[in-house]
Amino acid sequence: MTTARKIGEPVLVVDNVSLSFGGVRALSNVSFDVRRYEIRAIIGPNGAGKSSMLNVINGVYHPQSGTVTHEGVTRRKVDPHEAAAHGIARTFQSLALFKGMSVLDNIMTGRNLRMRSNLLAQAIRVGPADREEIAHRAVVERIIDFLEIQHVRKTPVGRLPYGLQKRVDLARALAMEPALLLLDEPMAGMNLEEKQDMCRFILDVNEEFGTTIVLIEHDMSVVMDLSDRVVVLDYGRLIADGTPDEVRANPDVISAYLGAAQA
Amino acid sequence: MSTKNLPVIILIVLLAIGMALPLLQKDTTPGFYVEVVLGGLMSGVLYSLVAMGFALIFKASGVFNFAQGAMVLFAALSIARIAEHMPLWAALAATVVIMAALAWVIERLVLRPLVNQEAIVLFMATLGVAFFLDGFGQTVWGSDIYKIDLGIAKEPVLILENVFQGGILVNRDDAVAAALAALLVVGLALFFQKTPTGRALRAVADDHQAAQSIGIPLIWVIVWAVAGVVAIVAGTVWGSKLGVQFSLQDVALKALPVVILGGLTSVPGAIVGGLIVGVGEKMAEVFLSPVLVKTFDLAGGGIENWFAYVLALVFLLVRPEGLFGERHIDRV
């Protein structure tokens, strides 16, 4: 299934990253890379440091040591909105949508970085500002069609069922037209049908938009079908890195992850 | 209608009955009654103007801005003093620039260094800003009583003479204030609902972290500038009515019960809350006070000063988040 895409050079390099909160070590000397156009999974049992890793990549946390290099730019301390400006988008494990706003407005906020007209022009809606809004709207409508959420466009997000909210979260991230998309447990809490839909969307995004994707999941079976390469974390340490088959056969993974799960 | 709204409904019904009771007194003419209600609504609009400033900033940044009253005073002072040298419209324009600059300075020097601090820390910081603005206003603009002349005739007009015996007296400047407030509300609603910046502001207000991760930086400075503009309108209206003096910032204290009643996070709540407080205290003063005097042999008077706070207290007991506020359900 991965033959159609040409996986390229590394676009994101995580080098020797360590992160701790007070005395608690969340990540210890973690290194891996993500190549262009690939779907890269980070898995591990609960508390392995997966979400911390994602938060480091998009600048929510600043690691005590180590570096993150994105598109050749190494940043020591970066804030989430700067990461966003560099083309890194993300979704959230516990949804962080703007609950009072409609689906459409939520997704439109994803276009914020690409808005050029100034405040005054927007307020009185003169020519260029109006044209800009319409152009952004067209992009957003395409994403809405793509994720099949046309029927709830005007609904306040807080009223949608969980599975649809997850889709809106993905849509908002896609509206940024990111080069790198971080998905924090996109399948968590979903039923089987919703999971299959989400898998299809992730593959389609990767294929049609050429977006590089990093996803976190603790449901191992989902990840194995979806990803090109897998990183396994346990207690903040990287214990395996390779193709799904390699990882599945790795004795450390079996004892730390599968073994623990089956015990 | 779910049962959790029941206490609120009962409270509102009680308020309505309380409002209707004076009509049963035989010496109350309908014309006088309407006049009192209108008078209450007009002063309510003025409370709403100040309360809106509170609600805007609280909604967007979770900061309770104690300095809103000082901002109103500062804006009024600046208009009054600048208008001594140039036409009123130019003074207004200059004041808009001044308030925007002020918003920027406050955001840079006070709020930004305190990002992610506890709410009480930010509140204390705004307390500091309030006292600074007080003193700084005196330093820059002087401490006499100044006036803002909107060019509106002072004498009241009689309206509806055909409907009510003797007609109803309405102050022109009150009517202008009400119209201004209505305009401001419509303008703010359009700004927040229809422009990309408004949308971004709503996003920041909803979830800071999510907004940052899609590339919206903390744009508090815009909210503070908007609150500054609201302060200008409030300052102009209050200033032209009462004269620009330091007691003007006390209207901010009157806005506290208004935001408690309406809900701290809601602009419509600020409007409705202001109207309820305005009408409520006026009616209490005019109709309740004589009853208290007669029944308990009290001196009477002064009800207008405390009624709003008691009303707010009752609302706090029944509905702590206010009429239009967001109910927060915290996971334990």
Question: CATH homologous superfamily of domain A1-87+178-263?
Answer: P-loop containing nucleotide triphosphate hydrolases (3.40.50.300)
Chain B's closest residue to A95, CA to CA, is B210
Is the confidence at residue A260, as pLDDT, over 70? no
Contact between A150 and A144 (Cβ < 8 Å): yes
For chain B, the average pLDDT equals: 82
B195 chain-A contacts, CB cut-off 8 A: 119, 122-123, 125
- Output the pLDDT for position A183: 93
Give A60-75 pLDDT, tens digit per residue.
Answer: 888 998 989 998 888 7
- Output the pLDDT for position A1: 46
* Residues of A within an 8 Å Cβ radius of B: 58, 60, 79-81, 83-85, 89-90, 92, 96-101, 105-106, 108-113, 115, 117, 119, 122-123, 125, 133, 172-173, 176
**Closest by alpha carbon to A102, among A137, A146, A58?**
A137
Q: Which of B197, B210, B217 sits opposite A119 (nearest CB)?
A: B197
What is the spatial distance between Cα A31 and Cα A13, in angstroms, rounded to a whole number?
A: 8
Chain A and chain B share a number of CB contacts under 8 A equal to 83
Helix (H) / strand (E) containing A89: strand A88-90
* Residues of B within an 8 Å Cβ radius of A: 191, 194-197, 199-200, 202-203, 206-207, 209-217, 222
Helix (H) / strand (E) containing A230: strand A229-234
Is the confidence at residue A256, as pLDDT, over 80? no
Mean pLDDT computed over A227-255: 89
A54 chain-B contacts, CB cut-off 8 A: none
Is the confidence at residue B332, as pLDDT, over 50? no
Strand bridging mode A10-21 / A24-35: antiparallel
Is the confidence at residue A125, as pLDDT, over 70? no
Mean pLDDT computed over A211-222: 86
* Listed range (A138-142, A212-216, B14-18, B54-58) with the worst mean pLDDT: B14-18
CB contact under 8 A, A81 and B216: yes
Six token digits for residue B253: 């204290």
Give A98-107 pLDDT, tens digit per residue.
Answer: 887 889 999 9
Other Cβ atoms less than 10 A from the Cβ of A21: the count is 9
In this prediction, residue A6 has a pLDDT band, given cuts at 50, 70 and 90, of confident
Q: What are the residues facing A149 on neighbouring strands?
A: none
CB contact under 8 A, B212 and A84: yes
- The CATH 3.40.50.300 domain(s) of chain A lie at 1-87+178-263
Is the confidence at residue B150, as pLDDT, over 80? no
Half-sphere exposure of B96 (CA within 13 A, CB side): 9
Q: Which of A90, A93, A98 to mutate: most B Cβ within 10 Å?
A: A98
Q: Chain B: give the shortest CA distance to residue A107, in Å.
A: 10
Mean pLDDT computed over B216-225: 80
Half-sphere exposure of B70 (CA within 13 A, CB side): 18
Q: Which of B196, B199, B206 sits opposite A99 (nearest CB)?
A: B206
Q: Give the residue, B178 or A55, on which the prediction is more confident.
A: A55
Catalogue all structural domains in chain B, each as residue range(s) with its CATH number: 30-318 (1.10.3470)
Contact between B277 and B47 (Cβ < 8 Å): yes
Is the confidence at residue B142, as pLDDT, over 50? yes
Give A157-207 pLDDT, tens digit per residue.
Answer: 888 888 889 999 999 999 999 999 999 988 888 888 888 899 999 999 999
ipTM: 0.74
Q: Tell me if residue B88 falls in helix, strand or coil.
A: helix
